[in-house]
Structure 1
Amino acid sequence: MREAKTVDLLQNDYLYCENVIKQNSASFYQAFKKLPKDKANAVYAIYAFCRNADDSVDETRDKSTQLKNWQDLYHQLQLFEKGEEISSPLWRALRDVFTRYEMDIKPFYEQLEGQRMDINFKQPSTLAVLERYCYFVAGTVGLMLLPILATENHQHLHGYAVELGVAMQLTNILRDVGEDYRNNRIYLPKDLLQMENYKQQDLQSSNINSSFISVWEKIANRSEELYELFQVGIDYFDKDSQLHVLLSALIYKEILKVVRESGYDCFQKRNYVSQENMYRLKQVVEGLTVSL
């Protein structure tokens, strides 16, 4: 009876994590929901951790509260590492993930380091500096997911996982220029803005001119290059995971196309991939993975 209750509790814990991803990232959820159940649950748990980390910083603008939230989560991760985690749906689910898969705690700590960068935010000086930030907040997510999606080859796929994570984060930044600016964050690198003579007043005015488009496209081209580099390694992922990993990449890459089609309006408009286009991309991926 006790074992049955434990199973029921764990199922509810994973349901909690699934609801987190459903409410916060339709694209991620659509890409991974058809994985084998154990793998899908593991993805949900990792997403819930990352969302918790992100929210610890983004749900308040008060720096002291952000730092306290961050320190609390860091302490909880330390307890988890020692096997003394608090009893909550997130940590119980993550414990099950660490029991089932060959997980590494390091990218979880690095993810928190990325969130700390946002607390002490500084506009990146160059694209290279921006990519380093993207590694901590998103490349680490790729590393967290690797042992689940590439159970046999995950030790050899770190580069591909990081490339995908960084590409996705660059895409997020390009989608959310206006929202980030309103939250007092400019992720567009200083040197690119100076090169194109695009000033902060232009950002404040949501000015979409040739200079802005040039800056945006330089970053978008780098993001697309990273998507292509990642795709080279797709056949080293588990057969039951390849379609889902590739679909997640193509859905995110599609966001760049959506922004372009909106006339580069990433200031006032929320650009997202429609359900119709998600279905179309799924059909494309299913055709591609037949030969993998």
Structure 2
Amino acid sequence: MSDNPTNSVSPIAKALLLPLAPVDHRALAQAGVNDLGLRQAYRCCRDLLLAHEGWASGYALWALPPQTRPHAWALYGFARRTDAIIDDGDPATRTEEFRTWRAQVEGDLRAGRSDHPVCRALLHTLHTYDIDPDTVHAYLDAMWTSLTTTTWATYADLYRYVEAVNCSVGRQVLALLGPRAPEATERMDALSAAMYLTDILTDLGEDLRWGRLYLPADELAEFGVIRRELERGEVTPAIRELLRFQVDRVRRLYNRGMEVVDMVEPASRLAVRCGAALFREMLDDIERRDFDVFATPPRAGWPRMVEALLRAGLPAMPARLRNRRTATVRQAAERR
């Protein structure tokens, strides 16, 4: 895939994100990213993320403190670049493409430098926040599993895979958020797993078309569901109850994971709320459509996304505005 995906961003998304351009420019400066080539590398990661996730993720990341925002682009942009090989690549060539990409990433990690924009931004972020490179290796190992494993016998098997894929990224992001308690890692793992399991449910129909089934086989048997029924895309009473069980379990994970909000720096909490709100809105959409995840992937429309962001942001916004006014007054006093 191209590593300059700006043209993949829809015109509507570009228009909605245009007001963030100067904000993003200042974020790079406040993050200490002054080298022109490195700035371009971070922007490449941002564009990779926006091309796939759209404007909502842009506004959710905007809620991060500006000095950490570009580093979030790097972490999520790298994850998206890697994931695209698995999900969007040609089935005939994606295994070899992944091997090539993995060799480049691991070689760059050993060398401590890279000419690839995504890897260059990633390496800079890992160094800036002293993030263990083993988290990158764990993510690549898990993505390789995505190429070689298409079914999961039990929820425990699936959850180990989910931990390796998404919790490794979640722990990287946690370093940016400023953990303030030892329990923050476990709560962040739960939140990251909840988000990934949400993706699994929303992409169930598409994954089946790719030949992958992420619902545990023993739970299918427990609810009396056979794979052929899922592949037909008909929501039988048994399938509806199976999916209701999955959604309820993911909601419990969110409830536990959201405890991380009080375990990170106050300036980071709004971003966690906004990100979780967008994923939880997708669970709501699954329930609104009575668990029919097959016709089209559950995705909340932009009015509901806006509503979710506002709900997540309103409790923290007064503090954010007070801090901004205080900083403005202080800067004015210093100029005088």
Same fold? TM cut 0.5: yes
Q: How far 1:291 sits from its partner (Å)? A: 9.6
1:226 aligns with 2:253: yes
Is contact 2:85–2:94 with CA below 8 Å preserved after alignment? yes
Normalised to the residue count of structure 1, the TM-score between the two structures is: 0.90
Alignment of 1:261-276 (within 5 A): 261-276=288-303
1:148 aligns with 2:176: yes
Alignment of 1:139-218 (within 5 A): 139-150=167-178, 152-153=179-180, 156-218=183-245
Could you tell me which residue of structure 2 aligns to residue 28 of structure 1? 57
Alignment of 1:97-116 (within 5 A): 97-116=125-144
CA distance in 2, matches of 1:44, 1:105: 17
1:56 aligns with 2:62: no
Secondary structure at the aligned position of 1:288 is classed as coil
Is contact 2:153–2:218 with CA below 8 Å preserved after alignment? yes
**Percent identity, aligned pairs only?**
22
Is contact 2:48–2:81 with CA below 8 Å preserved after alignment? no
Could you tell me which residue of structure 1 aligns to residue 29 of structure 2? none
Could you tell me which residue of structure 2 aligns to residue 242 of structure 1? 269
CA distance in 2, matches of 1:131, 1:289: 32
Match of 1:96 among 115, 124, 139: 124
Secondary structure at the aligned position of 1:185 is classed as coil
Q: How far 1:142 sits from its partner (Å)? A: 0.5
Is contact 1:28–1:248 with CA below 8 Å preserved after alignment? yes
Is contact 1:10–1:93 with CA below 8 Å preserved after alignment? yes
Secondary structure at the aligned position of 1:37 is classed as coil
* Structure number with higher relative contact order (C-alpha < 8 Å, ≥ 6 residues apart): 1
Q: What is the number of equivalent residue pairs in this alignment? A: 285
The aligned amino acid for 1:193 is L
Alignment of 1:115-154 (within 5 A): 115-150=143-178, 152-153=179-180
Q: 1:39 to 1:6 in 2, by over 3 A?
A: closer
* CA shift digits 1:201-255 (9 cap, x unpaired): 2112111011111111211111111110011221111211101111111210110
* CA shift digits 1:260-279 (9 cap, x unpaired): 11222211213212222222
The aligned amino acid for 2:131 is M
The aligned amino acid for 1:56 is I
Normalised to the residue count of structure 2, the TM-score between the two structures is: 0.79
Could you tell me which residue of structure 2 aligns to residue 38 of structure 1? 67
Secondary structure at the aligned position of 1:38 is classed as coil
The aligned amino acid for 1:249 is A
Q: How far 1:155 sits from its partner (Å)? A: 5.9
Which runs of structure 1 show a deviation greater than 6 angstroms over 4 or more consecutive aligned residues? none
Secondary structure at the aligned position of 2:314 is classed as helix
- Structure 2: gaps spanning 5 or more residues: 1-32, 320-336
- Structure 1: gaps spanning 5 or more residues: none
CA distance in 1, matches of 2:244, 2:293: 13
Is contact 1:57–1:69 with CA below 8 Å preserved after alignment? no
CA distance in 1, matches of 2:318, 2:158: 36
Is contact 1:163–1:226 with CA below 8 Å preserved after alignment? yes
Is contact 1:14–1:44 with CA below 8 Å preserved after alignment? yes
* CA shift digits 1:36-80 (9 cap, x unpaired): 333111111111111122122231212xx3332232232223223
Q: 1:208 to 1:33 in 2, by over 3 A?
A: same
Is contact 1:143–1:162 with CA below 8 Å preserved after alignment? yes
Q: How far 1:153 sits from its partner (Å)? A: 3.0
Is contact 2:205–2:297 with CA below 8 Å preserved after alignment? no
Secondary structure at the aligned position of 1:82 is classed as helix
* CA shift digits 1:139-168 (9 cap, x unpaired): 111111111112x53765211121111101
